[in-house]
Amino acid sequence: MRKGAGSYRRPESGGEQGFWPSYADMMSAVALILFFLMLLSYIQNLVTGNDLQNTQEVLENTRLQVQLTQEQLESLTDELNLKQDQIEDYSLQIVQQTEKLEQQQKLIGQQEAYLMAANNELTDMRNQMQTIAVLRLSILEQIRESIVEVMGDASKVSIGDNGNIILSDSVLFDLGSSQIKPDSVGVLDELVDVFYKFLSDGENAKYVDSIVISGHTDITGTAETNRDLSTDRANSVISYLLTGKNGILNNYAQYFCAAGYGATRPVASNDTEEGKAANRRIEISMILKDDTVLEIVDSYLAMELPETTLAPIASPSTSPQPGAGTNG
């Protein structure tokens, strides 16, 4: 029997049946394969599309995060730059304050050195003035002792509270007279010797400003009469000191001066005869140059030096803090 086109012919030899696929079978198989391939491709496209969308979303999120991070980084960079500017400002101010502090310390050192030198100088001056003051009292005591030795009577000569020699007027003068009594010459000669010994020593003389002989009276008589009498008596004493004993004190005449106070400076009451006798007197005072230096030096040395304090170092100015960076 004749088969149509496209049919298989079974082989007859050997008793075995042959199997050859027909064209239609082959096309069906190919179509089926293509269908599966297309199905796989579709499934793959579905999966790939979802992955791509997810990937795009991830990329977008990553881009946003990168942008946010960049903004934060810029903000932090601005803050860092501001802090660096502040640090530079602080450093400059610290350098300036350090220079000021060094200048202050240098100035304090100079002041301390000056004060130390001044203290030493004043201490030396104080010691010298104390030495001269002691010497002054020593000379006055020698004068008193010399007069007492000549007179043999200590009741009419003394050293007053002001450090002056006080000599009763009756030792040198008769009542109401300014003429030196002849028997008092020995007293004045002793004064000449003591003053000459003192003034001829240049180391002593350079500290002496003047030797004042002052006359004083009681209230008997008028004020003018008493003033004139006291002045005349003081001048009489100086006149003898400069001419007595061959005028050995004449070269030192510039140190001597006379003063008459009349009854204006009493040392006792004028209501009694004893008081009046005490007020009638001759005073001998030795004035040192700058006699107030001792007081000034003592007051200065007694003062505590004020504590030197440094002005506090100014704190560096604080710039306004920038706002916090934008957070996501």
Burial-class residue 38 by CB neighbours within 10 Å (0-12, 13-18, 19+).
Answer: exposed
pLDDT the model gives residue 297: 57
The rounded distance, in Å, linking the Cα atoms of 249 and 47 is 140
Length of the chain: 328
The rounded distance, in Å, linking the Cα atoms of 203 and 126 is 16
- Give every residue of the chain whose pLDDT is below 70, as ranges: 1-21, 51, 290-328
Question: Can you identify the CATH homologous superfamily of domain 118-302?
Answer: OmpA-like domain (3.30.1330.60)
pLDDT the model gives residue 163: 77
Single pTM value for the model: 0.53
List pLDDT tens digits, range 103-134. 998 889 888 888 888 888 878 777 777 777 77
pLDDT the model gives residue 299: 61
pLDDT the model gives residue 296: 57
Residue-range domain boundaries for the chain: 118-302
Q: Which two tokens stand for residue 190?
A: 């002793």
Q: In Å, how far are 49, 140, 150 from 186, measured between CA atoms? A: 148, 17, 7
